[in-house]
């Protein structure tokens, strides 16, 4: 371990001898009675020395070894220290510019996963994860790009047909991709977002890739978020693969539910809950799915809303894979183009569904304890 004061935290003097680490008040930590020798010692905790070397350097500043050791312990307990060696290892082996692109993400992880070396372990976990995004419209393509940018090692953007003008978004397909195959262009979108250099492969996919750690269901017309993408979802339930519904329908963006088969409410639970509120829902639903005649002639999809939803969906996926329960588990989040508000709605497992009783083959990664 090579201790480093977390580079993600600002260092602000509250007054002459009180140093505040971090700006967000809730998480800020104070170090008091900072005289010149201690200030110099803190400057030395930059990740270039291990513990014994730091204590020796402190001695040269006139500080007792016991004092230096106690100070390092105290800084670690206050979640101010990270392990520079672990961070370096987590980024090693990735070519530039990918390595540097991930530095701010790793810095953010060091605040969310505060123990020394923990953020590096989380980033390495992301690098091993495979996520499949089904549906490459405004939302799906952007979800794939954001996940790849966040360090997910293998992102597969799955869709058929060719990129249409309405699929274009600033975080997904650029306008130059209109008319190209969604599968080919989707692969390139993911590679670009991951910072893969021209001619370099983002990841060598094996002939038969392992099952994904999570599947994002993001059908282009947005109805998947409401229809529960029935058949696909049943297969994922049977295989025990966690999956997240997301999309934009009319003026509403939806993220969730994120279904952990056998452990949280599923897409059918959501459909049944809607039936309880509106008895005509099953009939309406039948007209929406499979290209039904009742669908909107021009599906609405606000660009800013789609980008927000894609970012939020990618964040929930990463939280789940990182071992944190996102609010889309046993619930869903709605973002409205009408007022810009985000709401979280609760989803209970429905008594008529029985999904929590299904036997479960645990997912390969990201399975919750």
User: For binding to Zn ion (CB under 5 A), which residues are involved?
Assistant: 266, 268-269, 353, 355
Shortest distance, position 255 Cβ to Zn ion, whole Å: 18
Q: Which helix (H) or strand (E) holds 259?
A: strand 252-259
Cβ distance to Zn ion smaller for residue 293 or 351: 351
Cβ distance to Zn ion smaller for residue 38 or 355: 355
Cβ distance to Zn ion smaller for residue 86 or 353: 353
Cβ distance to Zn ion smaller for residue 180 or 275: 275
Shortest distance, position 356 Cβ to Zn ion, whole Å: 7
Shortest distance, position 270 Cβ to Zn ion, whole Å: 8
CB atoms inside a 10 Å sphere around CB 203: 17
Cβ distance to Zn ion smaller for residue 63 or 285: 285
Structure tokens at 230: 């029935």
| CA–CA gap between residue 300 and residue 207 (Å, rounded) | 38
Three-state secondary structure along 299-351? CCCCHHHHHHHHHHHHHHHHHHHCCCCCCCCCEEEEEECCCCCEEEEECCCCC
Cβ distance to Zn ion smaller for residue 3 or 228: 228
Shortest distance, position 258 Cβ to Zn ion, whole Å: 13
| CA–CA gap between residue 368 and residue 260 (Å, rounded) | 8
Determine the 3-state secondary structure of 355 from DSSP. Answer: helix
DSSP state of 364: S
Cβ distance to Zn ion smaller for residue 86 or 266: 266
Cβ distance to Zn ion smaller for residue 11 or 238: 238
Cα 335 off chain centre by: 17
Shortest distance, position 238 Cβ to Zn ion, whole Å: 13
Find where tokens 């201690």 sit: 38
Shortest distance, position 224 Cβ to Zn ion, whole Å: 16
* Burial label, 162 (beta-carbon count in 10 A; 0-12, 13-18, 19+): middle
Shortest distance, position 331 Cβ to Zn ion, whole Å: 13
The CA dihedral of 229, 232, 236, 242, to the nearest 10 degrees, is -40
Cβ distance to Zn ion smaller for residue 269 or 321: 269
Cβ distance to Zn ion smaller for residue 152 or 266: 266
Residue 283 neighbours by CB under 8 Å, 6+ apart: none
Residue 276 neighbours by CB under 8 Å, 6+ apart: none
| CA–CA gap between residue 17 and residue 39 (Å, rounded) | 9
Structure tokens at 98: 């990918």
Structure tokens at 97: 């510019």
Shortest distance, position 271 Cβ to Zn ion, whole Å: 9
Shortest distance, position 362 Cβ to Zn ion, whole Å: 18
| CA–CA gap between residue 87 and residue 48 (Å, rounded) | 12
| CA–CA gap between residue 109 and residue 315 (Å, rounded) | 12
Shortest distance, position 251 Cβ to Zn ion, whole Å: 27
DSSP state of 181: B
- Alpha-carbon Rg for the chain, nearest whole angstrom, is 24
């Amino acid at each position: 371990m090579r201790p480093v004061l977390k580079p993600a935290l600002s260092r602000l003097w509250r007054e002459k001898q009180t140093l505040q680490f971090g700006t967000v008040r809730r998480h800020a930590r104070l170090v008091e009675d900072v005289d010149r020798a201690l200030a110099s010692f803190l400057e030395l905790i930059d990740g270039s020395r291990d513990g014994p070397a730091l204590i020796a350097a402190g001695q040269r500043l006139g500080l007792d070894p016991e004092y230096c050791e106690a100070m390092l312990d105290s800084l670690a307990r206050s979640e101010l220290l990270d392990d520079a060696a672990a961070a370096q290892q987590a980024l090693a082996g990735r070519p530039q510019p990918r390595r540097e692109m991930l530095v701010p993400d790793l810095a953010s992880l060091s605040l969310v996963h505060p123990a020394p070396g923990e953020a590096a372990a989380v980033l390495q976990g992301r690098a091993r994860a495979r996520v499949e995004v089904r549906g490459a419209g405004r939302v799906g393509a952007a979800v794939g790009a954001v996940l790849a940018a966040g360090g997910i090692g293998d992102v597969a953007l799955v869709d058929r047909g060719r990129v249409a003008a309405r699929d274009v978004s600033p975080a997904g397909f650029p306008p130059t991709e209109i008319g190209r195959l969604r599968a080919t262009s989707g692969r390139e979108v993911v590679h670009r977002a991951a910072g893969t250099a021209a001619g370099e492969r983002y990841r060598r996919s094996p002939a038969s890739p392992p099952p994904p750690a999570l599947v994002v269901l993001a059908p282009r017309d947005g109805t998947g978020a409401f229809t529960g993408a029935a058949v696909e979802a049943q297969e994922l339930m049977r295989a025990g693969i966690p999956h997240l519904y997301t999309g934009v329908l009319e003026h509403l963006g939806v993220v969730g539910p994120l279904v952990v088969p056998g452990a949280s409410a599923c897409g059918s639970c959501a459909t049944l809950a809607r039936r309880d509120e509106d008895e005509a829902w099953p009939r309406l639903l039948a007209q929406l799915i499979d290209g039904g005649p009742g669908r909107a002639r021009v599906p609405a999809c606000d660009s800013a809303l789609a980008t927000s939803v894609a970012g939020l969906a990618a964040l929930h996926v990463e939280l789940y894979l990182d071992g944190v329960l996102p609010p889309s588990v046993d619930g869903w989040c709605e973002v409205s183009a009408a007022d810009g508000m985000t709401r979280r709605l609760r989803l209970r497992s429905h008594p008529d569904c029985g999904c929590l009783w299904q036997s479960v083959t645990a997912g390969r990664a990201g399975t919750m304890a």
